[in-house]
Structure 1
Amino acid sequence: MLKRFLSPSYTPWQGGLALMRIITGLLMVYHGWEVFDKAKMDEYAKWLTDLHFPAPAFMAYLGKSTEWVSGILLTLGLLTRLAVIPLAIAMTVVCFGMGNGRILTQDQHPFLFVLLAGVFFFTGPGKWSLDQVFFKRGP
């Protein structure tokens, strides 16, 4: 049993990746939901102004919209590999452009989303995805 468990090809539960994708997507939807809160978006625009970002209000809405839309697509497992590209870019900007790039201390949260985006880019959505329904290749 231990030998099987330690085997690199052993997958104890095929739904694990899908569950991670769904939870990650829901977390992104939650964070992106702020796009509908004008007061919060004004705070982000001010912060981006202080950081000397170009078009700070537009960038704030672009970032939060990216989180929201990518989160929905990731939750559904629809166009997964395409959805995580803008998500990874947005989280990289949050981590290194808005944050201090201290991925071992303060900026772990957005950096973990970058890493999760990489996981889903390289592995795909897993089970329970609309990608599997629409793009499944079979005999």
Structure 2
Amino acid sequence: MSKLFSTKHDSNNLDIATLLLRVFPAGFMLSHGYPKFMKVLEGNFEFGDPLGLGPAASLILAAFAEFICSLLVILGLGTRLAVIPLIITMLTAAFIAHGDDPFGRKELSLLYLVVFVVLFLTGSGRFSVDSALASKRR
């Protein structure tokens, strides 16, 4: 019972928590990014233009963030850099693409946003490619 109320941090538990926080949300984000990535590969650039960059540029940036960067986050490879496009994409989704929508339409993008900000602050954790590469350098 005392462990449930303890404020001490178990390093192993934090690394497992970081792994779960990386793999599952980024894996779920792939379901948003994969169709966009396939549209880019097929040359179909019909897409919204929330930032005024043009539909093709907006689609390419969204596909890069939601598919490529999500894969990097899952692997824990360049995690802090990989979440930056995801953070920007979720900010765009929540406050521009769904800016006038009710909270329920923004909720998922805000949830992803918080997860990606936390990963930016914590890094990828011990169970990641980043950690393996850092261990080799030592």
Q: More deviation in 103-112 or 67-76?
A: 103-112
| Distance in 2, Cα, partners of 1:16 & 1:104 | 28
Amino acid at match of 2:86: L
Q: Which residue number in structure 2 is paired with residue 65 of structure 1? A: 64
**CA positional deviation for 1:39:** 8.9
Q: Which residue number in structure 2 is paired with residue 87 of structure 1? A: 86
Task: Map Cα deviations across residues 31-85 of structure 1 (whole Å, 9 max, x no partner).
Answer: 111121359852xx2x32xx57231221122112211111010000001111111
| Distance in 2, Cα, partners of 1:124 & 1:103 | 32
The TM-score with structure 2 as length reference comes to: 0.81
Gaps of 5+ in 2: none
**Paired residues, what number?**
133
Alpha-carbon contact 1:22-1:74 (below 8 Å) kept: yes
| Distance in 2, Cα, partners of 1:128 & 1:106 | 33
The TM-score with structure 1 as length reference comes to: 0.80
Q: Which residue number in structure 2 is paired with residue 105 of structure 1? A: 104
Gaps of 5+ in 1: none
Name the % identity.
26
| Distance in 2, Cα, partners of 1:15 & 1:137 | 21
**CA positional deviation for 1:111:** 1.0
Q: Which residue number in structure 1 is paired with residue 25 of structure 2? A: 24
